[in-house]
Amino acid sequence: MRPEPGRTCLGCRRVRPKRELVRLVRSARGVVVVDARARAHGRGAYVCPEPACVARGLDRGRLAHAFRRACELAPDLAVSVQAAARAGATGDSSRTTSRR
């Protein structure tokens, strides 16, 4: 059996199973959005669903470093992260993503 993939949270820097984290992507326009289905192309960054991790993880300096480019936050990004985390906890596979 293969080990489960792990990713590092931008907020707390802990390595956790990928399924426990919310994936963020930078759109072609430079706006960071939630990739709820974890299927968008390109570099992703991950954050724990805890509010403290979300607050630290959404710091522009951390995101710019993770994406290796300047980026802008979507206006409702923190809310979207929490919604994606709740949907993941309930096993809802019909979560929507913001358009790239």
CATH number of 6-89, picked from 3.30.1230.10, 3.40.50.2020, 3.40.50.12660, 3.40.50.2300: 3.30.1230.10
Buried b (16+ CB within 10 A) or exposed e, 16-34: beeebbbbbbbbeeebbbb
The string of DSSP letters for 38-55 reads S--SS-EEEE-SSHHHHH
| pLDDT, tens digit only, all 100 positions of the chain | 888 999 999 999 999 999 999 999 999 999 999 998 889 998 999 999 999 999 999 888 999 999 999 999 999 999 999 999 888 765 554 444 444 4
Q: Helices (DSSP H) in the chain: which residue ranges?
A: 51-57, 60-67, 77-89
Tell me the three state secondary structure of residue 90: coil
Domain residues of the chain, as ranges? Answer: 6-89
* Cα separation, 19 vs 71, whole angstroms: 25
